[in-house]
């Protein structure tokens, strides 16, 4: 009588995260991405401001708002809290959207940078907001050369994340929907 041997099949192991252990981004790359992103954010905010102005003009034509007491629509909008909140919402949403998806803004993609947690996972929305609030218009990056060996900026410390330099192959894996795991 033959004994039945149990087939031992190897259980598929979890794929190793290739985003762990990448080199930290230096000051030069960070500033390059910051300048690139500033141009994109300015364009997005100009479009949003124009859209907000068109909505305000339509509301005025329908008689729902009045610019009385103001020189023109621009003066009215510069004092309107809803318009200002709209502009800030667009600015914050730009960074939160990109950082929580693939971890890259458009400028970061061009410079092959990615913001992530130490385990290689994307940051969450609260981390993104903290990172943006503590970035002080990019001045937090001036902390990078003095923070050895991890080269973290002021905002990276506060948000408990890191900015790494990706290889060309890994940079191609990052999409707006996240990361392709193949």
Could you tell me if residue 138 is left (phi over 0), alpha (psi between -120 and 50 degrees) or otherwise beta?
left
What's the confidence (pLDDT) of residue 176? 78
Q: Is the pLDDT of residue 85 over 60?
A: yes
What does the pLDDT look like over 111-151, one tens digit per residue?
999 999 999 999 999 999 999 999 988 899 999 999 888 88
Q: Is the pLDDT of residue 10 over 80?
A: no
Quick one: which H or E segment has residue 179?
Answer: strand 178-179
Q: How many C-alpha atoms does 79 have within 13 Å on its Cβ side?
A: 10
Beta strand spans in 29-158 (E)? 113-116
Q: 121 is written with which tokens?
A: 């996972």
With a CB cutoff of 8 Å and minimum separation 6, the contacts of 29 are 111, 112, 113, 165
Backbone angles phi, psi at 41, to 5 degrees: -65, -40
Q: Is the pLDDT of residue 49 over 90?
A: yes
Cβ-based neighbour number of residue 74 at 10 Å: 11
Bond preceding residue 149 cis, omega within 30 of 0:
yes
pTM: 0.83
Rounded CA-CA distance 21/120 in Å is: 8
Q: Is the pLDDT of residue 66 over 70?
A: yes
């Amino acid at each position: 009588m033959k004994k039945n041997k149990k087939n031992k099949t190897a259980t598929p192991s979890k794929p190793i995260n290739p985003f762990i252990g990448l080199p930290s981004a230096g000051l030069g790359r960070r500033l390059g991405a910051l300048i690139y992103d500033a141009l994109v954010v300015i364009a997005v905010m100009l479009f949003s401001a124009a859209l907000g102005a068109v909505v305000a003009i339509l509301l005025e034509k329908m008689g729902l708002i009045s610019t009385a007491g103001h020189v023109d629509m621009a003066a009215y909008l510069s004092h309107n809290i809803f318009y200002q909140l709209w502009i800030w919402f667009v600015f914050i949403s730009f960074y939160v959207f990109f950082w929580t998806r693939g971890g890259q803004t458009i400028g970061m993609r061009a410079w092959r940078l990615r913001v992530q947690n130490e385990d290689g996972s994307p940051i969450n929305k609260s981390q993104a907001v903290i990172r943006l609030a503590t970035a002080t218009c990019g001045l937090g990056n001036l902390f990078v050369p003095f923070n050895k060996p991890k080269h973290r900026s002021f905002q990276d410390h506060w948000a408990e994340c890191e900015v790494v330099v990706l290889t060309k192959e890994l940079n191609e894996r990052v999409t707006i929907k996240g990361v392709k795991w193949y």
